[in-house]
Structure 1
Amino acid sequence: MNKKLLSIMLVIIISITLIGVTALVVVMKFQGDKEHNEPSIEEVVEASVDIPEITTNLASGNIVRLSFKIETDSKKAKEELEQREFQIRDIIISELANMTAEQLEGKEGMDKLKAALKQKTNGLMQEGKINKVYTTSYILQ
């Protein structure tokens, strides 16, 4: 009876250990995937393009001076975006020419401008897509 009880306990301990190790491996695997999905800051900078400062008139007669950094999803998309810089500048100027100072003021106005730039730029892209548009300078007069 003692040997039978000892055998059952040994089987139960080994089963619990195997279940624990399996659960640990599964949890570590999923946590590793989540960390890898977000690009590092180095990867973001490598796939980003600076749009030099643009000064233009708004529909309301005001002048705006701003510059952007556009984050792409790959190095190939970055290379394409660098070649399309003149088209991006045209999109920015066209969008701003139809906006008033009141429409551009505040976070909501800038968010609308950035969303429009992202959408229209993605329409041009063939090698990748735009992930995010950052405003790096902004002066409204």
Structure 2
Amino acid sequence: MKNKMLATMITLILVILLAGAIAIIVIYKMDHTSANNGPSIDKVVESSVDVPEITTNLKNNNFIKIALKIETDSKKAKKELEKRDFQVKDAVIDELSETSSEDLDSKEGKQKFLNNLKKTVDQYMQNGKIVKIYITSYVVQ
């Protein structure tokens, strides 16, 4: 009887320890998952540069007014990008001159434009990289 009680207590303690270990692992994994969801909006804003509205011709002789926000990976990259504003504007104008209004009508067309622009601007960067480019204003006529 005493051996049965001892075996039951040891089994019960092992079950409790196992449940505790599983709970700790689950909590640890949840913390890392939520931490890897990306930077906070404050971090995004403090490492982003606004490109003021640019008006230029498109490939098919329509014209566009567009404003952008470029997110970098650090404050240092942001400062560099602010100094390179003339190169960014030139890249935007060059890319748009090869794009028609029909290309920009679709979500895929806008994304292609943004991806091409990101590659071009990223080539200028020496202290960091471009994370994402957002269209903040857009009018085609």
Q: Where does residue 122 of structure 1 map in the other structure?
A: 122
Give the C-alpha shift of residue 27 in structure 1.
1.2
Compute the TM-score of the two structures, normalised by the length of structure 1: 0.93
1:101 counterpart SS class: coil
Q: Where does residue 60 of structure 1 map in the other structure?
A: 60
Q: What are the superposed Cα offsets for residues 10-60 of structure 1, whole Å, 9 maximum, x if unpaired? A: 111111111111111111111111111221111111111111100001121
1:128 counterpart SS class: coil
| Inter-partner Cα distance in structure 1 for 2:78 and 2:28 | 31
| Inter-partner Cα distance in structure 2 for 1:11 and 1:78 | 60
| Inter-partner Cα distance in structure 1 for 2:125 and 2:29 | 33
Q: Where does residue 77 of structure 1 map in the other structure?
A: 77
Q: How does 1:18-29 map to 2 (within 5 A)?
A: 18-29=17-28
- Give % identity: 44
Give the C-alpha shift of residue 106 in structure 1.
2.3
Q: Where does residue 33 of structure 1 map in the other structure?
A: 32
2:59 counterpart SS class: coil
AA at the equivalent of 1:53? E
AA at the equivalent of 2:92? I
| Inter-partner Cα distance in structure 1 for 2:17 and 2:126 | 49
Q: CA RMSD in A?
A: 1.2
Provide structure 1 residue ranges, at least 5 long, that are not aligned to the other structure: none
Provide structure 2 residue ranges, at least 5 long, that are not aligned to the other structure: none
2:113 counterpart SS class: helix
